[in-house]
Structure 1
Amino acid sequence: MADLTYTPPKVWTWDKANGGQFANINRPVSGATHEKDLPRGKHPFQLHSLGTPNGQKVTILFEELLAAGYSDAEYDAWLINIGDGDQFSSGFVSVNPNSKIPALLDYSGGEPVRVFESGAILFHLAEKFGAFLPGSGPARTECMSWLMWQMSTAPLIGGGFGHFYAYAPEKYEYPINRYAMETKRILDVADKRLGETRYLAGDDYTIADIAAYGWFGAFVRGDAYGDAATFLDVPSYTNLVRWGEELGAREGVRRGRIVNRKGEGLVPERHSAADIDIVLKG
């Protein structure tokens, strides 16, 4: 049993034994732990990722672009197994020094351009193709505001609520209550906004919705952190549920959210549309 009277030392030192479920990959320093080059496929966009909520954002956008007729948005999606420490390979760290998925190499202009952080990747692709992002004015600003809002909320939902509710080695009332409160406040912000407009940024579906769906969609579907949807009373956020179900029915969303995930009905790697077609058509 953990010591409930813990007093922080004057200078913190790392004790790997206290790392919980992710002790084998979490560490207080950055950089590569081993040499390994990233693979490269034939398409202009090379995505190295895992189908977590942050990873799903990018594959959903790629699939939405392809569904909208942007054939130049073809991509290879390579699986990064964070449980095995793939994110600490020299190749991955060269694309994302922060060793977090997703990471993208864009070869569409000849010389590779690295893009890391899911929000930056969404913005990069939306601006490149002129899609799912208003071109200028207040609409563009509103979209960017909601995109940045989502990026700021993810650590509270995932690293805060998700960690202490589902992954921490022991359950403690204070952190669970603290982050449940924050998560419900975030859900309430989205619910109130979606009571005013069809989508987060207004009347049009944008990268702000794609970013938010990666996280909120799991709660609406009821597959986030076990039964967290019941614990947080997600069905009571009726506007959010309406939005989540509408987005969940989109072909691009259905295709994108199963990429870079292992298991039945999922696609660990995507190198052509057929990789997803085979799974969805059974």
Structure 2
Amino acid sequence: MVVMSSFVNHVTSAYSSCVAKCRRAVAAKASKPTLPSSYTLPEVWAGDPSSMGGTFGAVNQPTAGARFVAPLPVGKKPLQLYSLGTPNGQKVTIMLYECLLDDKFDSWEINIGQLHQFSSGFVDVNPNSKIPALTDADGPGGNNVNVFETGSILLYLAEKTGKFIPTDPVKRIECMNWLMWNMGTAPYLGQFGHFYKYAPVHIEYGVDRYAMEAKRIVDVLDHLLENRQFIVGEEVTIADFAIFPWVVCLLRGYNAGAFLKLDSYTHVKAWCDRMMSRPNVRRGMQHSYGKWDPNK
């Protein structure tokens, strides 16, 4: 009992110390300038997502789960893709076409502006409510499987078809390195797009922070591609399919080519030309989805 009492006292003391540190941190932050100047940093966040403004300000909420009941459409083919023509969506359609799976998949548009990703059917496939999501009725052992997150989908299709993933163990590790690198860096490019194009006001700190990171990311690629044709060497892989749409998005989606001086990254530009010379990459970038109205 003495040991237990000592342990409880220790935990209580540690918790109290942590709370005190948090309060001091909040107080220190409160002394900083704020934007807008009327904003005061609270001890506990209780913001209203609907008041955030911007193109996508009211889409997300601090809670997960379905917001309305609507089953997803299901076609006759084994693979069902629920997505949109964003960079993350384009990764998967490029892979499907490059794997010559044209007759193996149906695709359905998930209109994120209309909150389709929060339907009960979509949440059943991807609890994170992000596109793209894939179902395969002919999964391992003949089971129906759900696959979400672009890196997971690309790897799943590569292993299913035996294509666009190196068989050499060392090259495979390098491919996985760059695939995971894209999973980690793409959100920074998305944040650049948010502050540069979609935020309700241009905030110098936000634009500068993510413009710097976007340029650093592209420069990493430029150094990598100086002496190779594709991300992992002379053969195209899922790493190329993952990274390419995001580079294109900086140029076409965010219209930031001049702002970021993308023409100065000559090795990236040459790689983009090589990628766009592939017919199935172009098909994947331009893919049209079947329409779905969850209200019907």
Distance, in Å, in 2 between the alignment partners of 1:17 and 1:188 is: 37
Change (3 A) 1:197 1:176: same
Distance, in Å, in 2 between the alignment partners of 1:223 and 1:20 is: 20
1:6 aligned residue: 39
Distance, in Å, in 1 between the alignment partners of 2:290 and 2:222 is: 34
Match of 2:199 among 165, 168, 181: 168
State the shift of 1:176 in Å.
Answer: 0.3
2:110 aligned residue: 80
Say whether the 8 Å CA contact 2:84–2:110 is kept in structure 1. Answer: yes
Match of 2:223 among 192, 195, 199: 192
Following superposition of structure 1 onto structure 2, how do residues 237-276 of structure 1 map, counting pairs within 5 Å? 237-259=265-287, 267-269=288-290
2:67 aligned with 1:33, yes or no? yes
2:48 aligned with 1:17, yes or no? no
Distance, in Å, in 1 between the alignment partners of 2:277 and 2:228 is: 19
Letter in 2 for 1:121: I
1:111 aligned residue: 143
1:52 aligned residue: 86
Letter in 1 for 2:200: P
1:233 aligned residue: 261
Distance, in Å, in 2 between the alignment partners of 1:12 and 1:197 is: 48
Say whether the 8 Å CA contact 2:51–2:58 is kept in structure 1. Answer: no
Distance, in Å, in 2 between the alignment partners of 1:93 and 1:14 is: 24
* Structure 1: 4+ residue segments shifted above 6 A: none
Say whether the 8 Å CA contact 2:52–2:58 is kept in structure 1. Answer: no
Distance, in Å, in 2 between the alignment partners of 1:7 and 1:130 is: 55
Distance, in Å, in 2 between the alignment partners of 1:236 and 1:3 is: 36
Distance, in Å, in 2 between the alignment partners of 1:123 and 1:153 is: 18
1:223 aligned residue: 252
Identity of aligned residues (%): 51
- State the SS of the aligned residue for 2:223: helix
1:279 aligned residue: none
Letter in 1 for 2:189: I
Say whether the 8 Å CA contact 1:14–1:28 is kept in structure 2. Answer: no
Say whether the 8 Å CA contact 1:217–1:248 is kept in structure 2. Answer: no
Match of 1:97 among 114, 127, 134: 127
State the shift of 1:217 in Å.
Answer: 2.4
1:137 aligned residue: 169
State the shift of 1:19 in Å.
Answer: 4.1
TM-score (norm 1): 0.87
Say whether the 8 Å CA contact 2:195–2:207 is kept in structure 1. Answer: yes
Change (3 A) 1:236 1:4: farther
Letter in 2 for 1:13: A
> Please, what is the CA RMSD of the aligned residues?
1.7
TM-score (norm 2): 0.83
Distance, in Å, in 1 between the alignment partners of 2:188 and 2:63 is: 22
Runs (5+) with no aligned partner, structure 2:
1-34, 292-296
1:157 aligned residue: 189
Distance, in Å, in 1 between the alignment partners of 2:285 and 2:37 is: 40
- State the SS of the aligned residue for 2:99: helix
Distance, in Å, in 2 between the alignment partners of 1:186 and 1:64 is: 26
Distance, in Å, in 1 between the alignment partners of 2:200 and 2:260 is: 21
Instruction: Give the count of matched residue pairs.
Output: 255
Letter in 1 for 2:229: R
Say whether the 8 Å CA contact 1:105–1:112 is kept in structure 2. Answer: yes
State the shift of 1:193 in Å.
Answer: 0.2
State the shift of 1:245 in Å.
Answer: 1.1
State the shift of 1:5 in Å.
Answer: 6.2
1:206 aligned residue: 237
Moved more, 246-255 or 185-194: 246-255
2:5 aligned residue: none
Deviations along 1:117-150, whole A, 9 cap, x unmatched? 0110000000110000012410000000000001
Say whether the 8 Å CA contact 1:30–1:98 is kept in structure 2. Answer: yes
Runs (5+) with no aligned partner, structure 1:
260-266, 271-282
Match of 1:177 among 208, 221, 229: 208
Distance, in Å, in 2 between the alignment partners of 1:9 and 1:118 is: 36
Distance, in Å, in 2 between the alignment partners of 1:235 and 1:225 is: 15
